[in-house]
Chain A
C-alpha cells in the first residue's frame, strides 16, 4: 500500500510551547491530506482537511489558530500545535488518499504522540 510517514513519532514539550508535526506521502503525491486526533480507547476524530496550496478546512469545534496546518507541497503537510497545553496531549495521525478526492483508499501515517507537561 501507499506509504505515509509522520515525524516525530512522539514528542514531549512544556506548556506554552509550539510543536510541529510533519506528514509526508513517500511514494505518491497527495493534494489533500487529513489530520486526525485520537484519545485513548476512542476512535479517530477528523480535525481538518489540508489542501495543497490553499487554506485548510477545519471541522466544527477545532480552533484553526490553535492547530495551524500548512500544505506547501504535494508530499508534505504540517500541523503545528501552538501554545500547547496539557489538554492538547493526544495522538495525532495524518492520512492521505492515493487518488485525490472521491472514494479512494485512505492511508494513515504512524501517528505522533504529543505529551504536554
Chain B
C-alpha cells in the first residue's frame, strides 16, 4: 500500500463547476500538507499549505484536512479552463525535510 493515494484521473468538468480533489494517507506521522498545481512540462506551483485539521481558504481554493480520517481535499470553485493541470498533494512529518507526494490528479476544465 502506498503511503499516499491519489486518483490519477483524468477528471473532466465543465467551466464554472466546483472541483473536489482528494488524497488519503496511511502515515499518522504526517503533520503538514501541501497542494501543488503542475502544468505540462513545468515545475509544480505551490497552491496551499496547511498544518492543522480544518479548512483553509485562498481565493477560489479551499484546502481541507481531516487528520482523524487521514484524508485531505482541495476544492476549486468556479473552475476555469486555466485550472486545467495536474494537481499533486504532498505531505510531511514534523521536523523532517522529506515530502511524500501523491501521483497527481489530471484535471481538465472544458468550455
Contact = CB atoms under 8 A, between A and B. Distances in A.
Interface of A: 1, 4, 6, 32, 34, 41-44, 46, 49, 91, 93, 97, 101-103, 105-111, 113
B46 A106 contact: yes
For the complex of A and B, the 4 pairs showing the least CB-CB separation, nearest first, are A108-B43, A111-B43, A43-B101, A43-B103
A32 B106 CA distance: 30
Interface of B: 8, 31-32, 34, 36, 41-46, 49, 51, 88, 90, 92, 94-95, 97-99, 101-104, 106
Nearest to B92: A103
A110 B104 contact: no
A110 B42 contact: yes
Given A103-B92, A105-B46, A108-B43, A44 B97 contact: no
A109 B46 CA distance: 11
B49 A105 contact: yes
A105 B56 CA distance: 15
Given A43-B104, A44-B88, A113-B41, A107 B46 contact: yes
Contacts of A42: 103
A42 B34 CA distance: 18
Interface of A is mostly: strand
Residue of A6, A34, A49, A103 with highest tally of chain B CB at under 10 A: A103
B13 to A, nearest CB: 20
A93 B94 contact: no
B43 A102 contact: no
B95 A110 contact: no
Contacts of B101: 43-44
Given A103-B31, A105-B34, A113-B41, 14 more contacts: A32-B97, A41-B8, A42-B103, A43-B104, A44-B88, A44-B101, A46-B99, A101-B97, A102-B95, A106-B46, A108-B44, A108-B45, A109-B43, A111-B43
